[in-house]
Amino acid sequence: MKKKFHSKSAKETIELGEEFAGVLKQGDIVAFYGELGSGKTTLIKGICKGFGIEKGVKSPSFVFLRIYKSRYTLYHFDFYRLKRKEELVNAGFDEFFFNSGIVLLEWADKLGNLLPESRFEVVMEIRSENEREIQISHTERREWSMEG
């Protein structure tokens, strides 16, 4: 199932993220795709808000990872500056995929074959300065629903 959403403001994207948080469960992995400024971090802010995390959510560009504690532990990665994915393997990064939290991956395409097969995919596209098209799907059969 693929769902398409149209957002007309950053606020609407945050609200969509809050709703998406309600779908997410322990062990879920979410891969975010879309150019710089398409709203990946904004949507993640909304997801975190849905879990009660209101502050400190921003792209972890220089450290690759930020961790937020809530009912679940949220692992927020941003691979924008990643040059060699082998570096991550050496750092034991795949451990997070078997961890007891929710994993949010910006620039997931940089992971190539390291990306776990079972995952949500969120594709974000810029339509105009304040409009974004957001597509959400899951790579496996998975019951979920959102009104948008």
- What residue ranges bind ligand ADP (CB under 6 A)? 7-10, 12-13, 34, 36-42, 59, 106, 130-132
Pick 119 or 132: Cβ nearer ligand ADP = 132
Task: State the Cα–Cα distance between residues 24 and 67, nearest whole angstrom.
Answer: 16
Task: State the Cα–Cα distance between residues 78 and 73, nearest whole angstrom.
Answer: 16
Only one of the segments 18-26, 104-112, 115-123, 138-146 lies at the binding site for Mg ion (rule: CB under 5 A); that segment is: 104-112
Q: Give the SS3 label for residue 84.
A: coil
Pick 28 or 106: Cβ nearer Mg ion = 106
Using the rule CB under 5 A, is 110 a contact of Mg ion?
no
Pick 24 or 44: Cβ nearer Mg ion = 44
Tokens standing for residue 64: 């690759």
- The CB-side HSE value for 145 (13 A sphere, CA atoms) comes to 1
Task: State the Cα–Cα distance between residues 17 and 148, nearest whole angstrom.
Answer: 9
Please, what is the angle between helix 10-21 and helix 40-50, to 10°?
50
One symbol per residue from 22 to 41: x for binding Mg ion (CB under 5 A), - otherwise; what is it? ------------------xx
Q: Which does 24 bind (CB under 5 to 8 A by kind): ligand ADP, Mg ion, none?
A: none
Tokens standing for residue 128: 């105009």
Residues in region 42-71 near Mg ion by CB under 5 A: 59
Task: State the Cα–Cα distance between residues 66 and 75, nearest whole angstrom.
Answer: 6
Closest separation between CB of residue 17 and Mg ion, Å?
13
Give contact residues for Mg ion (rule: CB under 5 A): 40-41, 59, 106
